[in-house]
Structure 1
């Protein structure tokens, strides 16, 4: 049984059809990549899956349960969690406090939540910033904090929205290795990314979206040779 099954998923905003007839199945422990031009519907797909917005058509099944239209909190409590490209931590709170807020969803005891948060912060390599105000973190630190807040919910499936965006190559490499470690530990990963070197390195399968629809789906090495993908997104220089 697939961990996640998306069937005929659609989302319209007035006359704009942001998603149309999206069908995909994700087995447990897959590292699944999503690419496509800006406005292709990638982030909208994540927002529907994670419960931030309700679909106007289709069905989402997670772990055999129909979660279509569920709230974000309810979906997260089932083990499907997302990160955001635009990081918005509580800037007036420390890194530990930020992650502890997420930990409270799993651990009602303040002490247990803080201990769990501290362990997750160490897991993502932010222990030196434990007591720093989150608003003082550099971009790479904010990316790790966003990951920590998601991991504090102990996800079975994590949706990563451009986790490498805004980072220089020397900052990307350790984040990529961290993502590999998270995946090795049994977390299923879906990620939206524009940095093709990372996409090709990490993805086991690759979905290409264009104008709210699936353009191609398959092994990365096959997908990037698809003339439609080259025309719509990669450009001839990539072929």
Structure 2
């Protein structure tokens, strides 16, 4: 058997986003276009595809770019199908990458379209900041989400923006548009899955400046439980690692 893939000249998004030299090629206009493309791709998987699915491992290394820097969601090895009349899929194990997993999935194995929304939110905040979520491990900030949330609450959202975007092309850098996207990212990573918007709403918010948005609530800072001692749900502490977990059993 032969598996045939489309040839994508620009490799994966992380090759540009987290490279100090190549990141200069991604001005704000290109980052927004890529973000919109990813959002539309997820909407297709969740709503419009004949086989509706949850990707479960959305991250920059799984976003491939063609010669025109148009994004393609890749690596469906961990994807899970779900019924058309439901938004959840049953799982007996956790599969994905810590740092992009929603808390309810990493802890309780509750997998839904809102799990992908959480991963998308992390990806959006990485696109804007130019920083990996894993860059914050073992620091006072603990995670990119904590860092962005603190700046947002203090009214200093633009302080977390990747300076390369403005330096590379000042004419395309639009602060109000960037702040709106930060807000969208924070809405996607809210701790409670019910609070996160569906991808249809996310696409609408990304493409319309007039669409009203709620104020985001506290993000799900964590993706892995520290089980060193028994705790109540509200007292849980969390750590984050950057590892891909694969489900061995068949789906």
By the TM > 0.5 criterion, same fold? Answer: no
TM-score by length of 1: 0.25
- Which structure would you say has the larger RCO, counting Cα contacts within 8 Å and 6 or more residues apart? 1
TM-score by length of 2: 0.24
